Structure 1
Amino acid sequence: MTVKKAINEIKNARFCLIIDDEEEIESGLLVTSAHYFTPEKVKIMIDKGNVNLVLHPEKVSQLGIPVKNSLFNIKKEIASVSYLQKDKTSKDVNIANGILAISNEIDPFDFELSGNINIHICRQMGVLRKSSKFEAAVDLVKLANLSCAAVVKKISLKKLEVKHKAIKDYAKSNNYTIVKLRDLINYKLERESYITLIDQGVIKTQFGKFKMFAFKDKVNNKIHIALVKGEIKPEKDILVRVHSECLTGDVFHSLRCDCGNQLSLALNHVAENGSGIVLYMRQEGRGIGLLNKLKAYKLQDKGLDTVEANQKLGFQADLREYGVGAQILRYLGVKKISLLTNNPKKIIGLKGFGLTIHKRVALYTDSNSHNRKYLKTKKKKLGHML
């Protein structure tokens, strides 16, 4: 199996190349373990004068590496550090020693900002939280039972001195094992789970009766809800809504957004269909949380749009993740989906976790004078199909 081969390559201090899927022919992420890093490898992995190191958040916490701010783990920004040595050495040796020190927690060592090692922080659950090559890099190193630190380099055929027709040709010429992101996700899904079913019951709503399942996220202890109607079979195409929590819209019927209306519409669609699932995911404010959402409201009152407000607070436009939702759907026996959404990124996000999206079902709601700018921003800046 390719994933097992890639793990073995990493374990034996070699390289592998991560790609998104079969169609990706022009780019990939070259990965090796930081545990066995050498000055010779610096020459291969250096990119614009720096080497990129991806760390597990627990590793960052253990080392106390300086980061830009407390939101660093969420934002996945880059901090640069230098490994400080008493003796003057070549740049390659200095970088290699710095990475070895970070990876193997060698004492004593010090860090300062603006160095030659760019540090990225991956999600705790890796590819099961976010379908990303950076997450995949650390997952491979962890699966190889090495220190949770991976050295990575983005490979683009357009930028290579020696031209290749496809990324597979580049990998073959360098004897690199290729591993597809989806294969790694499936490999981990067969062996790991970050959710657990806490309890279940029945809830009667204005849209009819639903089975209610409560799942606990083992990483952050958040409780996510699945409302299920009818019979769920793996061979069936299941109508699904993955809804992110919006206290202001869902509970207090805020006119600033369309969230509450979308939730009601989704429940009605599932009820009329006779079967389906509505997931209620605890990702308030597109992932920034309730208090930060209120701060964003104040900025919007001063003229910023919903994306600008989040960015002003130091967040990305959308921090939602779909790995946990995908695990819940798989737990419930779902494989094929008709997805109730206007958000194309949600389709891409769920596809990455081995779910087949059969079709998209639009959720159009009426606008009002309070949310018209918000909806226009979602369409223009976030790509929503409205």
Structure 2
Amino acid sequence: MVRPESLPQAVERLKRGGTAVLIVDNTREPYGVIMQAARDVTASSVNLWATEFRGVICVAIGEKTANRLSLPPMPGRTSGADSPEFLVSVEARRGVSTGISAPDRMATLHILADESATETDIVSPGHIFPVLVRNSGVLGRASEAEGAHDLVRIATGADAAAYCHILNVEGLLAGSSELVSISTSHDIPIVYLSDLVHYRMENELFVHVVSEGVVPTDHGPFRVLLYKNELDGLVHPVLIKGEMDDNTPVLARIHSQCLTGDVFHSWRCDCGDQLSGALTAIREHGSGVIIYLRQEGRGIGLPNKVRAYALQDRGKDTVDANLELGFDADHRSFVAAAQIFRDLGIKKLRLMTNNAQKIAEMFDFGLDVVERIALPTPPRNENLGYLRTKKDRLGHLLDLKHD
């Protein structure tokens, strides 16, 4: 799955203190960054990046480093799962002049990479732009900061990765062919973000079972496993009926928690009806799996979900309500589900879903969705607008015939 010329060569070069070109290839128009472990950046590197690659020099740091240096978020930054978490710009407190020169910026990067440095060693604002990377890395947000940080961590174990967007002579993000040309002319290995995601999915397992038992239900008994995600601490219940083998596609549902729909049977959404439909289908089939992901309100949490309800009552649809609260239209991640399937030995799915994006993500994480099984639910006057928004704005595969 990983291109032979991609990840191993880049990791080896980074181990030796060199640079790599990371191509972000999960977008409609791929773009790239030049990157290096922050501790290995030289003044010559900074000068080359500034003059030939032309982008802003940033440094991706982990939560441990951000906390140790007491770096707050950049004021007014854009929020959302797809937005980089910029922290305040910084400068080394000592050993620099204006902070803008190549040696000065190198010194600042070295301070950020120094595990003994504290908040007393930096000042703000400055000419280096830190970006916070969560522990999940590219498995939580697949973009350049997370990619650079993951690569440096894999290659060197360090917690700070310097990177610079590569612009062409017109000042636009360089495209794939230009990035390949730059890689060739400077003898810099290329690594693709998609390869890094697949590498981590195939080589790391960050979920594990913390308890298990049997739950009798209206749909018969289910074995229940509680999986803890080590990246965020969340515990996800998994209901299993029957036996499974490696060669037979498994009837499965990835269900995001919805307290109001699943427990209180709210008519605002179709979540409870979908969960009930999945349980019924598994009972009738005789086997199957339901992964119940703890990501209430499409990932924004129960308090914000109820705030979104209030906005909807004032005329916003479910997408615009999320956006007004500062979240993405869909703030969820299905990485944990893919990891749970992997731990269960499941490789092929008959996935019960109306969400095309969920299918695409399972494919991205190396699972084979051999069949999509629709979960039709009867529209009600109370949720018809919600369902239309899911179909028209979120791409859900729904048939909304309604009297």
Identical pairs, percent: 36
Please give the alpha-carbon distance, in whole angstroms, between the structure 1 residues aligned to 2:180 and 2:248.
Answer: 36
Q: State the shift of 1:369 in Å.
A: 1.8
Unaligned runs of 5+ in 1: none
Selected match of 1:141 from 137, 152, 156: 152
Shift of 1:343: 1.9
Q: Is the 8 A contact 1:232 1:332 kept in 2?
A: no
| Cα shift at 1:161 | 9.8
The superposition leaves residues 231-261 of structure 1 with CA deviations (integer Å, 9 ceiling, x where unpaired) of 2222222222111111111111111111111
Question: 3-state DSSP class of the match of 1:278?
Answer: strand
Shift of 1:94: 3.6
1-side partners of 2:320 and 2:9: how far apart? 44
Is the 2:79–2:327 contact (alpha carbons within 8 Å) kept by the matching residues of 1? no
Which residue of structure 2 aligns with residue 59 of structure 1? Answer: 65
Q: Of 332, 335, 354, which aligns to 1:320?
A: 332
Match among 31, 36, 45 for residue 27 of structure 1: 31
Aligned counterpart, 1:152: 163
Provide the rounded CA distance (Å) in 2 between the counterparts of 1:192 and 1:118: 30
1:66 partner letter: P
> Could you list the per-position Cα deviations for residues 185-205 of structure 1 after superposition, in whole angstroms to 9, with x for gaps in the alignment?
454345532211112222232
- Other-structure match for 2:86: 78
TM-aligned CA distance change 1:40 to 1:73, over 3 Å: farther
TM-score, L = length of structure 2: 0.83
Counterparts of 1:10 and 1:194 in 2: how far apart (Å)?
25
C-alpha separation between the residues in 2 aligned to 1:55 and 1:120?
6
- Bigger shift: 269-278 or 46-55? 46-55
Aligned to 1:9: 13
Q: 1:350 to 1:171 in 2, by over 3 A?
A: farther
Larger deviation: 15-24 or 59-68? Answer: 15-24
Contact 2:147 2:193 in 1 (8 A): yes
Q: 2:128 aligns with which of 117, 120, 127?
A: 117
- The residue that corresponds to 2:401 in the other structure is none
Give the Cα separation in 2 of the matches to 1:305 and 1:174. 50
Cα pair 1:76 1:121 within 8 Å, conserved:
yes
Using structure 1 for the length normalisation, give the TM-score: 0.86
> Which residue does the alignment assign to 1:178?
190
The separation in 2 between residues aligned to 1:161 and 1:283, in whole angstroms, is: 35
SS of alignment partner, residue 144 of structure 1: helix
Aligned to 2:261: 249
**Structure 2: stretches of 5+ with no match in the other structure:** 399-403
Deviation at 1:33, TM superposition (A): 1.5
Amino acid at match of 1:59: T
Deviation at 1:344, TM superposition (A): 2.4
74-83 vs 352-361, which moves further: 74-83
Identify the range of structure 1 (39-48 vs 364-373) with the bigger mean alpha-carbon deviation: 39-48
Provide the rounded CA distance (Å) in 2 between the counterparts of 1:32 and 1:247: 45
Q: Displacement of 1:219 after TM fit?
A: 3.1
Classify 1:232/1:102 alpha carbon distance in 2 versus 1 (closer, same or farther; 3 Å). Answer: same
1:36 maps onto 2:46 in alignment: no
Q: 1:95 to 1:193 in 2, by over 3 A?
A: same
Distance in 2 between the 1:248 and 1:141 partners? Answer: 43
CA drift of 1:23 comes to 11
Q: Return the alpha-carbon distance in structure 2 between the equivalents of residues 232 and 179 of structure 1.
A: 37
Pick one of 75, 95, 104 that aligns with 2:105: 95
Deviations 1:200-243 (Å, cap 9, x if unpaired)?
A: 22223233332211111223332101112232222222222111
Task: Determine whether 1:264 maps to 2:276.
Answer: yes
Task: Check if 1:286 corresponds to 2:298.
Answer: yes
Contact 2:7 2:196 in 1 (8 A): yes
Q: Is the 8 A contact 2:273 2:377 kept in 1?
A: yes
